[in-house]
Amino acid sequence: MKTTNVENKLYFLKTQIENHPRFEDGLEFSLMSDARITENTRDQLTNLSGNLWINNLITIVGKNATGKTTIMRTIIGILQLLLYRSSIDQTSLQDILIGDQPIKITTYFYGSDQVLYKDIVTFKQNTDKLNKKWIIDNELIYKKEFKNRFTKKEILKFGNIKPLYERQNLDELASSILSPDDSIFRMVLAKEKYHPQPIIDNLMLANINALFYNDEKVPAAILNFLDPSIEYLNIESETDDANDIKKIIYHLKFKNSKEEITATGFDVIEHYLSSGTAKGITLYGRVMVALRTGGIMFVDELENHFNHAIVRSFIEDFADSKINVNRVVLIFSTHYSELLNDLERGDEIYVAKRNQKIELQRYSAANVRNELKKAEVFESDYLGGTAPEYSAYMALKQMMQKKSEVMN
């Protein structure tokens, strides 16, 4: 998809993590399609050029404590560091980088000027005992021209290409200006005038109740979909110029009530709205922005926001090319394995597991027979590490039985 537009866009393709104490060494996460493109599913992907397709939907599914959130926070963190000129301590990497050994993260991008980039960052802790912090020890950036004849396997092979930039070989002036916790990928962005994909981070919404919306009036279509008993919900903001404090005023009215509920705090409104409705309004507000701008949207534990029917409808919106015109990528985690049956492509699914370390397995690479339902494969522990261990289940069952006997 070679563009004639002056604006150069940059697309995230893949990242790989090495030598991290919590991750299986070489853990990979990729948006790139590695399965056959069919007429039935091609609308769920975006063709960047030639054989380079990326999925518009990716889910990370796994049982509790398998590292789904940690994986997404790592991806968000490295993208914030490379694409948005953020320092390490301004990203989620500040909590992800742990241990006392160097950690390497390799990330691949595609530029709409038909160029591929490979960025390798090696992180380490500084030697300051009084102010321990993670810094960038070295960073290598490789560049190569994309050719439409590339096979899928050839796209990310950089062979004997020499680095375009190497942090440790920068001239004295550049080195003196650059902070030790800043990426040099900003040099690529500035030189080529790339517009990176917006990163929409919704991970915090999984564990807190909140109600935000960008416009004053929440559209009736959203309200009727989430809670048809609501007549209207308006959210206005006022700023106290004297104290420079922003005040939010909620106006809520139900169809079966004559009175409007007015409140200046969410703690009042949350007594009238379910947590799912409040989270849903907030999330759909951010979706509306993403659908206009494009980008990558991250949602943790999607089923915490909606009931299962609405979850399915939410996902379908991103797979619908008439709605998702700007090809937003939705990356979400879930415990809800039945949802997997609605995802037609195996390369849309990553299975998170945890033994000693966090592992990530792409469903399309598991050689599972097509006639098997994906949810049954997950629940049966066919892939290993996806169902609670039988011994743990029996121990819990015996404990509950003993507690019950004591109470009787």
Matching residue, tokens 């990370």: 60
Q: Do 16 and 132 belong together in one domain? A: yes
- Cα–Cα separations (whole angstroms), residue 47 to 11, 219, 292: 11, 32, 19
How far is Cα 206 from Cα 202, in angstroms, rounded to an integer? 8
Residue 86 domain-assigned (yes or no): yes
- Map residue 330 onto helix, strand or coil: strand
Last residue within a domain, chosen from 276, 296, 330: 276
- Map residue 228 onto helix, strand or coil: coil
Q: Do 15 and 134 belong together in one domain? A: yes
Torsion of CA 54, 291, 350, 348, to 10 degrees: -50
Q: Do 165 and 232 belong together in one domain? A: no
| Residue 107: exposure state from Cβ atoms within 10 A (0-12, 13-18, ≥19) | buried
How far is Cα 73 from Cα 95, in angstroms, rounded to an integer? 9
- Map residue 400 onto helix, strand or coil: helix
Q: Do 143 and 94 belong together in one domain? A: yes
Q: Do 23 and 145 belong together in one domain? A: yes
Domains: count for the chain: 2
Q: Do 102 and 233 belong together in one domain? A: no
Cα 5 to the center of its chain, rounded Å? 28
Matching residue, tokens 């469903």: 363
Q: Do 63 and 168 belong together in one domain? A: yes
Contact 20, 103 (CB under 8 A): yes
CB atoms within 10 A of CB 256: 7
Task: Look up residue 161 and give its two tokens.
Answer: 């290409």
Last residue within a domain, chosen from 223, 251, 276: 276
Task: Look up residue 279 and give its two tokens.
Answer: 């989270």
**pLDDT value at position 387?**
58
**pLDDT value at position 393?**
45
Query: Per-residue pLDDT tens for 273-305?
Result: 988 899 889 999 999 999 999 999 999 988 877
Q: Do 39 and 166 belong together in one domain? A: yes
Residue 301 domain-assigned (yes or no): no
Half-sphere exposure of 118 (CA within 13 A, CB side): 17
Contact 300, 279 (CB under 8 A): no
Task: Look up residue 366 and give its two tokens.
Answer: 């598991």
Pairing assessment for the beta strands 296-299 and 329-334 based on DSSP bridges: parallel
From the list 358, 362, 307, the residue with the least C-alpha distance to 35 is 362
Q: Do 34 and 131 belong together in one domain? A: yes
Size (the chain), residues? 408
Torsion of CA 123, 127, 133, 134, to 10 degrees: 0
Range of the domain at 271: 210-276
Residue 263 domain-assigned (yes or no): yes
How far is Cα 3 from Cα 6, in angstroms, rounded to an integer? 8
- One digit per residue, pLDDT tens: the chain, 408 residues? 444 446 899 999 999 999 999 999 999 999 999 988 888 888 889 999 999 999 999 999 988 889 999 999 999 999 999 999 899 999 999 999 999 999 999 999 999 999 999 999 999 998 877 788 999 999 999 999 999 999 999 999 999 999 999 999 888 777 778 899 999 999 999 999 999 999 999 988 877 777 888 889 999 999 999 999 999 999 988 776 666 667 889 999 999 899 999 998 888 898 999 888 998 899 999 999 999 999 999 999 888 777 778 888 888 888 888 899 999 999 999 887 888 888 888 899 999 999 889 999 998 887 776 767 777 777 776 677 665 554 444 455 566 666 566 655
**pLDDT value at position 147?**
95
Q: Do 79 and 219 belong together in one domain? A: no
- Map residue 293 onto helix, strand or coil: helix
Q: SS3 sequence, 259-277?
A: CCEEECCHHHHCCCCCHHH
CB atoms within 10 A of CB 304: 18
**pLDDT value at position 6?**
60
Instruction: Catalogue the E-assigned strands of 162-267.
Output: 165-166, 194-196, 199-201, 230-240, 245-254, 261-263
Residue 296 domain-assigned (yes or no): no
Residue 385 domain-assigned (yes or no): no
**pLDDT value at position 1?**
47
Residue 149 domain-assigned (yes or no): yes
Q: Do 49 and 181 belong together in one domain? A: yes
Query: Per-residue pLDDT tens for 357-372?
Result: 999 999 888 777 676 7
